[in-house]
Structure formats: C-alpha cells, structure tokens
C-alpha cells in the first residue's frame, strides 16, 4: 500500500468536492447576473428547459476549466513530497496555498473565457437574440449556444491547463542536498522532473 498515493488521492477528492460545489454556486450567480440578467431559479421552477440546459452546460464548462487548478496543486504537492521523501504539514500548507492561487486564477480566467466566447458568438449572430429566445424556452437555440460554448471550452482546456501549470515553479519546490562525494562539503541542488 502506497501511503503517499492515498494521501494525494484524498487531497484531490477533498479539493474537488469542496471547491466543485463552491464553483457551482459562483457560476450560478455569474450566469444570473452577467449573462441572463434575471433570476433564473424561478424560470427553472416554471419548467423552462432552455434555461436549465444552458445553465447546466455553462456550469460544466466552468468545472472543466477549474479542474486544472487541482491538478497543478497536486503536482506541487507530489514534487515537494518526493523532494523531501515525506509529507509534512508545512509541505501540505504550501501546496494548499498553491491551490488557492491556482483556484482564483482558474476561476477568474475560466469565467472570462466563457463570457468572451459567449459574447463574441452573440455579436456574430446579429439576426438572433439568443438570450431572449432562451428565456422564451426555445430549446433549439439553447442547445446550439450551449454546444458552441462547450466546444470552445474543450478546445481551450489543454492550453488553459498548460497556463495554470506554468505557475508551478518546480525548481523552487525542490530540496538542496549535501554533496557527499565532494569532500569540500558543497551543496548540489536535487533535480526532480515535474510529475505528469
């Protein structure tokens, strides 16, 4: 049994659960305030399938992009644990700090990317008022717009993952070791490849 692997997995699951729910809450508020500009909960209760579908796809898109923050944080934790050959509270707290940084950056950029994709598409289709149609429960427009935004999210996601991963400074996370071969007592940095 690999204890570190279990710890990394519990870390991933815990962050995914807590911050996944937080992301859903934030995404719902952003959709209501910036995109649809109405309280959509009442419309969903009345059976507006278009709004429910559109909101669900936007939430899925946001979660897909936010997931990169958890992967980058876990990479930082694994790198530090491998460099020190153990997991300490300090290492765990540094990794958690990285996660909060990655989460805020991921959330901000993901919301911006989705909003930009949404508004560019809306401006490109001047003959159709997508928001008004979705509010009128036009399922065809809702599906079309939702799938376009979902496709853009899938297209952007690998580059977004690389962007968030680039914020991890693996050299700073590595430990220095004393060179025992060189009797002069020099210090040689330990090189660790980032986990993939």
* CA 12 – CA 37 distance, rounded (Å): 34
- The residue written with tokens 């939430």 in the block is 59
The model's pTM is 0.76
Question: Which pLDDT does position 152 carry in this prediction?
Answer: 92
Tens digit of pLDDT for each residue in 122-175?
888 888 888 889 989 999 999 999 999 999 999 999 998 888 878 767 666 665
Mean pLDDT for the stretch of residues 36-44: 82
Question: Which pLDDT does position 179 carry in this prediction?
Answer: 44
The domains of the chain are located at 3-189
Share of the chain above pLDDT 70, in %: 85
pLDDT at residue 181 tops 70: no
* CA 96 – CA 73 distance, rounded (Å): 7
Residues 6+ apart with CB under 8 A from 110: 61, 62, 65, 66, 160
């Amino acid at each position: 049994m690999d204890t570190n692997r279990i710890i990394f997995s519990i870390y991933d699951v815990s962050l995914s659960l807590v911050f996944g729910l937080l992301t859903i809450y934030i995404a719902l508020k952003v959709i209501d305030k910036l995109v649809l500009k109405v309280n959509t909960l009442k419309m969903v209760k009345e059976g507006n399938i278009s709004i429910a579908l559109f909101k669900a796809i936007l939430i899925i898109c946001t979660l897909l992009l936010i997931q990169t923050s958890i992967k980058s944080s876990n990479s930082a934790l694994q790198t530090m644990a491998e460099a020190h050959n153990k997991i300490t509270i300090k290492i765990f707290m540094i990794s958690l700090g990285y996660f909060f940084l990655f989460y805020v950056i991921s959330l901000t950029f993901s919301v911006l990317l989705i909003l930009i994709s949404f508004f560019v598409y809306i401006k490109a289709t001047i003959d159709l008022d997508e928001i008004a149609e979705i509010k009128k429960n036009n399922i065809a427009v809702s599906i079309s717009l939702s799938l376009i935004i979902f496709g853009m999210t899938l297209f952007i996601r690998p580059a977004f993952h690389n962007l968030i991963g680039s914020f991890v400074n693996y050299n700073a996370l590595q430990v220095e070791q004393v060179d025992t071969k060189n009797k002069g007592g020099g210090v040689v940095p330990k090189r660790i490849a980032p986990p993939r």
